[in-house]
Chains A and B, each alone.
Chain A
Amino acid sequence: MQNNSFKQFWAERGTLVVVFGLLLILSGVGWLTMGREPFVRTALSGLTLGALYFMVAAGLTLIFGLMDVLNFAHGTMFMVGAYMGWQFFTNPTFLFGLAPLILALLTGLLTGTPLRPTVMAWSVPERWQKPLRTALAVVALVVGVVALNGLDFIGLADTALVATMVAANPLAEATPQEPLARFWLRPALLLVAGLLLAVAQAGPGDKTQMVHRSTARRGWIVVAVLAVLTVVAVFVREAAPIAVLHMNADWRFVLALLTGTLIGAGLGAVVELTLIRPLYVRPFYQVLVTLGLAYVLRELIMLFWKPLAYQMSRPPLFSQPGKAANLLAWFSGHNTTVDILGVTFPSYRLFIIVLGVVMLIALGILMNYSRLGMIIRAGVQDREMVEALGINVRRVFTIVFVLGAGLAALGGIGAAPFIPVQPAMGDAFQLQGFITVVIGGMGSYSGAAIGALLLGLARAFGDYLALKFQLSPAIAEASTVIIMAIVLLLRPAGLMGKKE
């Protein structure tokens, strides 16, 4: 029996033990050959990278494992998160200026669900149904264009750039917000456009569809909440940015993290519901759609903020001059750097490591102790059976996509204060994210954690070696692919992947 339980333990955790054993041995070798200072510095850099890789890879692996969707727009979520967080932190005029418009359009669109039973019951002769839908969509498009006509997007987007230059009073230099008397028409028209689209989507007179009455009531509640938010957004449009800029910068940073994450998650929801969901019958198209979306969003970002790189400043919590003698001293001093084992290390990067670990733990709790996590773990193995138990798997898909997008966006905004904010910033992370997923095993979040740790360390130590031996920095980039190749040779399903 003793022997048997050991065998079982080995079968389940053997890979983990080997990986961590190897890491420990390599650390020992590194410490002895590199010396303490460079070793600790490089290891900490590796952990920072690993934390970011994890936040990208966790979503990728769950989305692929559960939904079989290769999301090539995941790095874009990282990038969008970084841009939105940076905007919010530097000058949120852009976000508050657009919020009423987006909320108004969403309110209109979401009336589709509760309106469906009514719209379907309209008596429209069958041969007029299709032309009517097309006509509604065209009118909606025209109304939408009229609504946005003349809106100074670029001026709004530029506010953050101006703010960087005029630090004293960022809003004094650029207030491209229109007066309310003129502005209110835009959200109103967008609401109409959304409504028209919703009616077209619901299919007037089309009685062949199924309706669930229970969803109609919940639908109206969602619409009502959004409508209220829209009205609030219309009125706080000008005051809110100023209020945000006057608040404590540390709190503003926390809010920026939240905002970036929420926008990323919201974008994820829109993408899943409008682009991914209709294409489950054509998986290959889903890949193309995510790829196309990545390009579209990147071009859009470039349109607003030009193909330039920006640097988001660190919150004051991590930017007081000087060096904290140890972690405890940092808590009172909020210094830029901290002394860790005799190594001077940027305190903000430690924050990223902590953020990554917190997310890992949160995800671990979610996956292991919640019903949602149970459904996800079961769904990775057998979606059909989960559905047969009476669980709406499609809804779980949406939740997972939203979670993944939000986590990637959080990674992006977390990274913004120490890597340049630019349109291609997500690409490298997406690539490393995919490699992480392959190493860890598709669908396993713990695999993603181990893979991210390995890749982050490999990258950091690769960089160190390349510098020391005057090699091309490409060595460091290659190291991650080499690790992937080795893992795939030994464990084709990935470290934590299930053997099939």
Chain B
Amino acid sequence: MPEPQDDYILTVDTIHTFIGQFHILEGVSLKVRRGSITVLLGRNGAGKTTTLKSILGLTPPRQGQILFDGQELQGRRAFDIANLGIGYVPEHRAIFRNLSVMENLRLAERKKGDLNRKADLIFGLFPDLKRLYKLPGNHLSGGQQQMLAVARALVADNRLLLIDEPSEGLAPVLIEQMMTAIRQLSATTTVLLVEQNFIMASQLGQAYYIIDDGKTVHEGAMAELLQDQALIHRYLGATIGRQGA
């Protein structure tokens, strides 16, 4: 690596993203510290998922700058960005239903033997997947699909994982398992997490960003956010309300 070891692995600087004619992101900025878990918070439709997709180049931003490990990401195609070492766990899992669990994982290999090298890590985190190895993706339950989606992002050597709503639609036991897994992951890699489940987000995240109406409106350390009930209520009211139910 010729670049100096920067504190931040990812720097997003006032990006503007359009989907069709809609101006979805109107200036999102954030920084992700190496080896940390950073959480993106905000209401539904605030632009959290689009932020992740913009970083990965799936919805390329029209303005602004994104730096990943010192490299500019603008103008690069998504596959190229992913190959720099970014893993993506999309919302709704997006596993390949007509491929077996093994094929889903094999597809994520960037070098021959990636899967063999990571097998211990993956099956250590998600022992269930070993049992389901030969089954096609559409035979998996929601929780198993989510595990596969996370596992898929671990096959290649990724320095940053973009994880979008891993708790969505999962039973409490599985949420617990998923949290443990993500926490273990953060020992070796950096995680940028989008999470509606505030309890999960607050327990995992070290730093947080709140996105509202396509803009970053607040940032800081998670510990501070937990003190600021007014702020939580103002931007995340709906989230906490749902949590109480």
Residues of A in contact with B (beta carbons under 8 Å apart): 8, 208-210, 212, 371, 374-375, 377-378, 380-382, 384-394, 498
Contact = CB atoms under 8 A, between A and B. Distances in A.
B103 interface: yes
B106 A374 contact: yes
Contacts of B83: 390
Contact of B106 (A208, A371, A388, A390): A371
Contacts of B56: 388
Nearest to B153: A389
Given A377-B98, A377-B99, A378-B96, A392 B79 contact: yes
Contacts of B108: 389-390
A381 B76 contact: no
A381 B98 contact: yes
B98 A498 contact: yes
B94 A382 contact: yes
Interface string B82-122: 11000010100010111100010011101000000000000
A385 B94 contact: yes
B231 interface: no
A378 B99 contact: yes
Given A210-B75, A384-B58, A385-B90, A390 B96 contact: no
Given A371-B106, A374-B106, A393-B79, A388 B90 contact: yes
Interface of B: 56, 58, 75-80, 82-83, 88, 90, 94, 96-99, 103, 106-108, 110, 139, 152, 156
Contacts of A209: 75
21 contacts: A8-B139, A208-B75, A210-B75, A371-B106, A374-B99, A374-B106, A374-B107, A378-B98, A378-B107, A381-B98, A382-B94, A382-B96, A384-B58, A384-B94, A385-B88, A385-B96, A388-B58, A389-B152, A390-B82, A390-B110, A498-B98
Contacts of B82: 387-390
A374 B99 CA distance: 8
A381 B97 CA distance: 8
Contacts of B152: 389
A387 B78 CA distance: 6
B58 to A, nearest CB: 6
A155 B76 CA distance: 49
Nearest to B95: A385
A374 B88 CA distance: 19
A377 B96 contact: yes
A392 B108 CA distance: 12
A389 B94 contact: no
A190 B104 CA distance: 47
B79 A391 contact: yes
Nearest to A378: B96
Contacts of B76: 210
Nearest to A381: B96
Contacts of A377: 96, 98-99
A386 B90 CA distance: 12
Contacts of A386: 107
Give the most central of B58, B77, B107: most A CB within 10 Å: B107
Contacts of B77: 387, 392, 394
Contacts of B103: 374, 378
Contacts of B139: 8
Nearest to B74: A210
B189 to A, nearest CB: 16
Nearest to A373: B103
Nearest to B97: A381
Nearest to A394: B77
A384 B98 CA distance: 16
Contacts of A212: 80
Contacts of B96: 377-378, 381-382, 385
Contacts of B58: 384, 387-388
A393 B107 CA distance: 12
A375 B107 contact: yes
A380 B97 CA distance: 11
A390 B82 CA distance: 5
Given A385-B96, A392-B80, A498-B98, 13 more contacts: A8-B139, A212-B80, A378-B99, A380-B98, A381-B96, A381-B98, A384-B78, A384-B94, A385-B90, A390-B82, A390-B108, A390-B110, A390-B156
Nearest to A211: B75
Nearest to B89: A388
Nearest to B75: A210
A385 B152 CA distance: 11
Contacts of A8: 139
A194 to B, nearest CB: 26
A314 to B, nearest CB: 41
A476 B198 CA distance: 65
Contacts of A389: 79, 82, 88, 107-108, 152, 156
A375 B79 CA distance: 13
A212 B79 CA distance: 13
A123 to B, nearest CB: 21
A122 B75 CA distance: 20
A8 B97 CA distance: 15
Contacts of B98: 377-378, 380-381, 498
